[in-house]
Structure 1
Amino acid sequence: MQRRHFVGLTGLAAGALFLPRFPALSGTPVDVAELLRPFDAALNKRLADAALNAAKAAGASYADVRIGRYLNQYLFTRERQVQNIVSTESQGIGVRVIVNGAWGFWATNQLTEADVAKAATTAAQIAKANARIQKEPVQLAPQQGYGEVSWKTPIQRNALEVPVKEKVDLLLAANAKALDAGASFINSALFQVNEQKYFASTDGSYIDQDVHRIWPTFTVTVVDKASGKFRSREALSSPMGLGYEYLVPKAQDKIKGPAGTDVIGYRNSYDLLEDAALAARQAKAKLTAPSVVPGKYDLVLDPAHLGLTIHESVGHPLELDRVLGYEANFAGTSFATLDWKKQGKPYGSKLVNIVADKLQPGSVGAVGYDDEGVKTREWDLIRDGQLVDYQKIRDQAHIVGQDHSDGCCYSQSWQDVQFQRMPNVSLRPGKQKLSVDDMIRGVDKGIYIAGAGSYSIDQQRYNFQFGGQTFYAIEKGKITGQIEDVAYQSNTQEFWNSCAAICDQSDYRLFGTFFDGKGQPSQSSAVAHGSSTTRFNGVNVINTARKV
């Protein structure tokens, strides 16, 4: 999720041809000043009403309208030079309707009342055609209309308003820190996203949302010229639902890793310069670090690493459309079927409590309402180790005997139809006071892992393998030094049942991604995963450098 996309995204610095592959990064190139033009809410309501009225006139029993203006700016640097600066805008309207019990959808970037009415009529025609082959009518969970409401990411400084020079200077300063600390190469980037979204429906909602996201990132590489060996380390930042204040480091937001490491975790602000220098030192240490001896180890997993494991082994398999087999072509279905849930098998140990939400302040997935006009909420997925619920939207709720949506229906843009997407999925922190050092003191033979690396998981989201960014050996309760070539293998149920300890709230941090892929045609979505440092006992570790 991170490594492969960063390699691809670095190529953006050579040109904009790659942009359409990631709709979150797509759009028409515009002048920087266009990014600050306000969204016209009054015009949006007129357009929405024109579309809703046309949909009802065409026979729709339900209709919703999404008017979106997606603004993006990306900066790319390498070593001591700027490679590219891109500012884009994409604006249009998508209309979704139910006619004769079937869905229809159409979109246009022509924002006149006549054009949006035509889009609604076209969506109704598509729904009528779909109804001829529809086996069962769509059943929507009831949803109250909210009238005219709004929600905005609570930012302190809009990153798009920050002068480009200030942002470039920060990236180049981070590059210089890495080079001074021994890096041979460094690519760095800053992604800034502003989604201005207006939703209206025949339920009576008119919802205006202003969503901001930011992501500073880099890859540092150190080369040993004598041997030709090289090692890399990626940034330990996370995409966040914050403004430029995220890049103003605050001492209270830093969390030191365990004694014997130089790892630093970050909560609501991020020190790009500090992390770049640290990455260079850690990458250099990898060149001489001993290779891991395969075997069973107790794993102590930092939140910047564990977030990816949560994403793949809990987030995706508990999406109801995967569970039902509706989603299969992109990343598979799920072992956690409705029948599996009825059997009452433990998903994890009794320490495992996993919650879904789109509410956590600062999380990259935070919004007030989903793309069906449902107010976002928090609910339990796993409670005391038992699977208790899934992620579901309005037309899925009746399948599991529920009468409400979870508020997790999203589209990547105005021109794509919304469907069930992963909310934030997070492991609740431990209830008892426990520091990382306290946790490690109870480990006889283990490995501490920080940062997300390569991963692989099967089509049922069950058997998996995960790597990381940095690895430290633990012997008799102490960190003894950095090691290399580590990956762990397990299956979802075995892994989460091996959960033996979770640090308390003081260690809790967010991991996230802009690029949660799903669907066919595929769409990308922003999602976060929170956790504290967690220990898993007796996990199988392999040596990735050894030939099989």
Structure 2
Amino acid sequence: MKRRNFLYLAGMGVGATMMPDISALGKTVPLDYLPEPVDAILKKKMADIVLNAARSKGASYADVRIGRYLNQSISTRENRVQNIANTESYGMGIRVIANGCWGFASTDKLDNDSIAKATELAVQIAKVNAKLLTEPVQLASQKGYGEVSWKTPIEKNGFEIPVKEKVDLLLGVNAAAKEGGASFINSTLFLINEQKYFASTDGSYIDQDIHRIWPTFTVTKIDKSNGSFQTRDALSSPMGMGYEYMIPDENEKIKGLVTLYKKRYDMIEDAKQAAVHVGEKLQAKPVEPGKYDLVLDPTHLFLTIHESVGHPTELDRVLGYEANYAGTSFLTLDKWESKKFNFGSKQVNIVADKTQSGSLGAVGYDDEGVKCGKWDLIKDGILVNYQTIRDQAHILGLNESQGCCYADSWSSVQFQRMPNVSLQPGKAPLTSAEMIKGIDKGLYMLGRNSYSIDQQRYNFQFSSQLCYEIKAGKVVGMVRDAAYQANTQEFWNSCAGSCDEKDYRLGGSFFDGKGQPGQISAVSHGCATTKFSGVSVINTGRKI
């Protein structure tokens, strides 16, 4: 098997494992099901049963999450619908500290007696676990906010859009790709609505309504003369928005080799372009291995940020808590303590942000009732911080959590998850076209594709959906089978600058897996088109 085919198939396999069947996320409900939100007064009464019962059983701290999770996915192929799943999951998770140790229990029976019994069970679990405790939980202080609420600022609720309208859109996307010469196309639309209520003995009663959306497709074209094929996935970004994301705004159009939009998405236009691109990929010449200056579009670079910056700055990975499942991190505490670890060039400024409008990770408060904010991870190329939750903050000498706690269900234990992690754009005016003009030998890469990275998030390899060769400041044509190799520190030190904020866009991961038992979360990564100098590129199509 050729290396290129191996990496492609392996990447598809990994992608499939990270894209769950949402029918397993709750009970199936009618396609037009749209329940009224549970009254906040009722949720407060249920929460108070938990908080009072926990105290009476000896808990020093307790919190409760009452969650209703709506999930919808529509999948099509060519001119037919393959699957429609519409599910609801509703229940509560109870977390307590007793005798210095955590305990957790959950229930989907929300009568008073069942709630009280689940709370008692959580306290019992904490007390039993405490017998094995070597060090009590140190919980960062957190003020109570009283009764507050937060909502994703959507314009159109995707669950209110008739399923037929969404099906017609996907079938229209498929038709556009087929008319453009594609052999096959499948398209999917994912919608998620999390209605979450959090309360704690700190005095918070927080009601949140969170929406996310992800339209995507894969276009394939076969060369019937030799049986070879090429594919191109959608260049869409999953977003923390409503159905308005599917309505393109001509004022946001970014024109170039590929037509994109800053915050909206034209799925039909993307499918038309994809049909052309797969034909070009079949005719494209293989890349010549060597050193290149890379121009990485946000549709590609977001994934490199996710894997090489987002994951290694998770404090639980740094401490080894994720070693069994996902590995550790090369960004050990001694590097942070030195206050001078050179993560990247001075052009590299990376922030964590749980408040960014339109992002997947945007919420008002995390799943510990911490008000969310923004902070530096990498400042002028130097490692300055990590991502923490309440029982980790003391390790870094912080007085409060950074608000990075999340659970994917009421039945899951909340734990440290990645906030939005983004590379800041350049300050001087610069377009991607101007950036390309200054490159003698380079590659321009768009879209996420197969990748590999080691368990310390240090040595890696990434390829793209589209790759164009740059010679003497001009794009001269498409090439294929290109992947760049580097280690994280080497790569980010080769960063030579980014386009300005006009080019800044969000990418993201809709199903990011972590933990045992496994959970998923959604997180965005923003950046502008960015240049990296002298990066090693290999040809993945050569036989191994």
TM range (shorter): over 0.9
Partner of 2:479: 483
1:37 offset after TM fit, Å? 2.9
Which residue does 2:42 correspond to in 1? 43
Selected match of 2:456 from 449, 455, 460: 460
Partner in structure 1 of residue 6 of structure 2: none
Distance in 2 separating the partners of 1:383 and 1:447: 27
| 1:396 to partner: Cα distance | 0.3
Which residue number in structure 2 is paired with residue 226 of structure 1?
225
Partner of 2:490: 494
Is 1:279 the counterpart of 2:278? The answer is no
Counterpart position of 2:525: 529
Matched, 1:168 2:167: yes
* Preserved contact between residue 22 and residue 72 of structure 2 (Cα < 8 Å): no
TM-score, with structure 1 as normaliser: 0.96
Q: Is 1:313 paired with 2:312? A: no
**Is contact 1:196–1:209 with CA below 8 Å preserved after alignment?**
yes
> Structure 2: how far apart are the matches of 1:6 and 1:277?
24
| Structure 2 counterpart of 1:15 | none
One of 462, 469, 472 as aligned partner of 2:468: 472
Q: Secondary structure at the match of 1:32?
A: coil
**Range with bigger deviation, 341-350 or 227-236:** 341-350
C-alpha distance in structure 2 between counterparts of 1:232 and 1:253, whole Å: 27
What secondary structure sits across from 1:34 in the alignment?
coil
- Could you list the per-position Cα deviations for residues 467-508 of structure 1 after superposition, in whole angstroms to 9, with x for gaps in the alignment? 110000000111000100011100000000000010000000
1:245: which partner in 2?
A: 244
Alpha-carbon distance in 1 for matches of 2:178, 2:15: 20
Counterpart of 2:126? 127
| 1:36, distance to aligned residue in structure 2 (A) | 3.4
CA apart distance, 1:116 = 1.1
Q: Cα deviations across residues 38-64 of structure 1 (Å, max 9, x unaligned)?
A: 223222111100011111111010000
Partner Cα distance (2:372, 2:146) in 1: 16
Which residue of structure 2 aligns with residue 187 of structure 1? 186
Secondary structure of 2:537's match? strand
Deviation at 1:326, TM superposition (A): 1.5
Q: 1:300 aligns with which of 283, 295, 301?
A: 295
Cα distance per residue 1:414-440 (max 9 Å; x no partner) = 000000000000000001111101111
Structure 1: segments with no counterpart, 5+ residues: 13-17
Deviation string 1:43-88 (CA, Å, 9 cap, x unpaired) is 2111100011111111010000000000011111100111111110
CA distance in 2, matches of 1:170, 1:189: 10
Residues 22 and 73, structure 2, Cα contact 8 Å, conserved in 1: no
Alpha-carbon shift at residue 9 of structure 1 (Å): 8.5
For normalisation by structure 2, the TM-score amounts to 0.96
Q: Which residue of 1 aligns with 2:263?
A: 268
What does 1:74-473 align with in structure 2 at a 5 Å threshold? Answer: 74-257=73-256, 261=257, 263-343=258-338, 344-473=340-469
Amino acid at match of 1:144: K
Stretch moving more, 333-342 or 444-453: 333-342
Which runs of 5 or more structure 2 residues have no equivalent in the other structure? 1-9
- After the TM superposition, which parts of structure 1 deviate over 3 Å for at least 4 consecutive aligned residues? 1-10
How far off is 1:5 after superposition? 6.3
SS of equivalent residue, structure 2 residue 283: coil
List per-residue Cα deviations over 1:175-205 (Å, max 9, x = no partner): 0000000100000011011000000000000
Shift of 1:268: 1.5
Q: Matched residues in 2 for 1:380 and 1:425: separation?
A: 9
| Range 447-456 or range 248-257, more displaced | 248-257
**In 1, Cα distance between equivalents of 2:17 and 2:403:** 31
Q: Is the 8 A contact 2:37 2:195 kept in 1?
A: no
**Aligned pair count?**
534
Specify whether residues 505 and 2 from structure 1 end up closer, same or farther in structure 2 by C-alpha distance, changes over 3 A only. Answer: farther
% identical equivalent positions: 64
CA deviations on 1:83-121 (whole Å, 9 max, x unpaired) are 111110000100000001000000001011211111111
Return the alpha-carbon distance in structure 2 between the equivalents of residues 329 and 457 of structure 1: 16
State the one-letter code of the partner of 1:465: Q
